[in-house]
Structure 1
C-alpha cells in the first residue's frame, strides 16, 4: 500500500479484521506455544471450541510485529467470526501480563482480548492468587481508556455488562460490588482492572467447569464459590467469550449514551447483588459496621444506609469489602 507521497505506508495489522487467533509459537517467558491439538486435549470445553473454530490457517508474522512475531493460527470456522481479535495463548503467568505486552505493541485496540488456556500466576484483588486450571476462562479485555465519567466506575460497569450478557443466556448472574460475579448468590467470577501506560485492561476470571475447593478459600470470603456449569450449559470458553465480548461492547455504548444521568445508575443497580440487603462492611482493613445497600452512585461507589450513624443517613463507599450478615 502506498501513501499519497508514493512511499510505502505502514503494513496493515493481520489482526485488524478481528477473529480468533491461536498463538502457535508463543513467546519465551510470556506464553507457552499452543496448537489446536493441545487445546482440544486440555479440556472437553476447549475440544468443543476447536471443533467450532476449525479449520485454521497459518499466518507468519515477521519481526516488525514485535512481540507477536512468529506463527499464528487464524480460526476459519464460523465460531471465529468477531470484530475485535481474540488472542488465545497457551499457559502463561497471567493473561493480563500478555495483554500488557501486546498492548505496548499497539496490537490490542479496545474490546480485543487475550484468552489463556491456564495461568501460573493468576491474580485477583489485593494480589490474591486466582487458581487457574484448564477448563475455566482467564481473559484480559482491552477496555476503552477514554471512558470519561465511566472510568472511575469501570469495575462495576464491566461487571454489570458481563452479568447482563450472562443473564441473557440463562445464567442467574449479578455483580457483587465492587468486582465479583455471582450466580444465585455464589461466586463464579471476578474482575480486576489494571491501568498500564495509559491503557486499561480488565482481567476476568470465570469458573466455567470447576470452582476452587472451599478449603482453599480465605476465611473471610464473602460468597461460596461455584461454576457456571452448575446453572446451565456452557458452550466452551472461546465460544462463550466471543459472545460475551460482543454483548459487552454493545452494553458499554449504551452506558456511554446515558452516562452522567440517573439512567446509568438504574441499569447498574439492575444487576447489583444484595440490593436492599443488610451487609457487613469492612472499610480500611479493620473498620467494620452494618449497613443496608440502597444503590450505586454515578462514580460506581456503593450507596449505603447506616441508621446507627443517624436516622436515614446515606453514605457512599468508594473502597472496601462487603458480605451478607
Structure 2
C-alpha cells in the first residue's frame, strides 16, 4: 500500500479509529449517529474495505471507501468517529504527509471542539465538524485566510440557496444569526481551517457567553440539507474553485472587492472591542488586501479610515 492512500480523493470512513485520535466508526454507527449521516451512509454505498498498513502511520487500520453517490470528490474527505477535535486528527495526519491541499477530516462528533480564543464549540452528532487542509500561499492571501475561507464557503452556500455572509473575521451568518464558524491554525508549515457548521441543531442560547455577537441557528432552519458529508464535499469542491479565483485576483483590488461582497454588516455601525476592554463605535467600510477590517471611527473624517486586525465586532 502506498504511503499516501488518500491522494486519489473520495470519501473514506475510518472503521478502526485509533486510541487517542478517534473512536471506531462502522456504517451502523454512522447511520445511528443522526439522520443526516444515515442519508450519507446509504447515498454513498456501496462501500469497499481497504486496510492501510503501518507505513501509513497514524491512519493505519481498516477504512471503508465510498464507491457510490453522485460523483467522487477530488480531495479526500476522511470521516472519523467521535474525537477530541477534527483539527487534532487532521494535525496528526498532516504531519505524516497524508493530507493534500483541500483534503479534510470530518468528525461525527467532538468532545473538545474549539473556536476562536479556544472557546468551546458544542459538537453533538448531526452537524459538520471539519478540518480542511488549506494551501499555504504566503503573503496577503495567507494572512487573510480566515476571511478567504469564509468567503469561499459563503459563496458555495449562497449558490445552494443559503444567503450566508461572513462576519469578520471568522463567523458565518444568515441574516443576523450564526450558523457556523472558522478557526485557522498554522503549525509546522501546515495550515488547517477548522470549520463548524450547524446543519441540524444550534447551541442552547442559555449556554452562549454573555457577550456573544449573534444568536445561533442552523442551516436546516433556512432550507434542505442533503447530508453532512454530501454537503461538505460539495462545498469543498466549490471552495477550491473559488480559492483559485482568489489566487488569480491576489494583489489587486479585485480580491478585496470579492471578499467585501461576502461581508456581513458592510456599511453598518458596529461596536468594536479591541484589546480586551477598549471599545469604540465605528462603521464598516470594507476590507484591506491582508484581511484587515476597514473602519471609519465615529466622528472621524472620511480620510481617517483605520484597519483592524484583531478584535471583535457586534451590531449596535
Partner in structure 1 of residue 55 of structure 2: 64
Partner in structure 1 of residue 165 of structure 2: 174
Equivalent position SS for 1:78:
coil
| Per-residue deviation, 1:16 | 1.6
Say which of 229, 242, 250 aligns to 2:233.
242
Partner in structure 2 of residue 149 of structure 1: 140
The 3 A distance-change label for structure 1 pair 314 and 254 is: same
Say which of 43, 53, 63 aligns to 2:44.
53
1:270 aligns with 2:261: yes
Distance of 1:24 and 1:197 partners within structure 2: 29
Equivalent positions of 1:21-60 (< 5 A) are: 21-60=12-51
1:93 aligns with 2:48: no
The 3 A distance-change label for structure 1 pair 13 and 312 is: closer
Partner in structure 1 of residue 294 of structure 2: 303
Equivalent position SS for 2:122:
coil
Partner in structure 1 of residue 64 of structure 2: 73
The 3 A distance-change label for structure 1 pair 107 and 79 is: farther
Distance of 1:147 and 1:204 partners within structure 2: 21
Q: Answer whether contact 1:53 1:80 (CA < 8 A) is retained.
A: no
Distance of 1:315 and 1:152 partners within structure 2: 18
* Structure 1: 4+ residue segments shifted above 3 A: 309-312
Distance of 1:198 and 1:312 partners within structure 2: 38
| Per-residue deviation, 1:310 | 4.5
1:191 aligns with 2:191: no
Say which of 79, 96, 109 aligns to 1:118.
109
| Per-residue deviation, 1:145 | 1.4
Distance of 2:116 and 2:234 partners within structure 1: 26
The 3 A distance-change label for structure 1 pair 103 and 249 is: same
Partner in structure 1 of residue 119 of structure 2: 128
Partner in structure 2 of residue 255 of structure 1: 246
| Per-residue deviation, 1:320 | 0.3
CA deviation digits over 1:141-198, x for unaligned, max 9?
Answer: 0000124330100000000000000000000100000000001221000000001110
Equivalent position SS for 2:183:
strand
Distance of 1:211 and 1:300 partners within structure 2: 28
Identify which range, 266-275 or 305-314, moves more after superposition: 305-314
> Gaps spanning 5+ residues in structure 2: where?
none
Equivalent position SS for 2:56:
helix
Q: Answer whether contact 2:3 2:55 (CA < 8 A) is retained.
A: no
Q: Answer whether contact 2:31 2:41 (CA < 8 A) is retained.
A: yes
Partner in structure 2 of residue 3 of structure 1: none
Q: Answer whether contact 1:57 1:74 (CA < 8 A) is retained.
A: yes
Normalising to structure 1: TM-score of the pair? 0.95
1:161 aligns with 2:156: no
| Per-residue deviation, 1:78 | 2.3
| Per-residue deviation, 1:262 | 0.6
Equivalent position SS for 1:308:
coil
> Gaps spanning 5+ residues in structure 1: where?
1-9
Normalising to structure 2: TM-score of the pair? 0.98
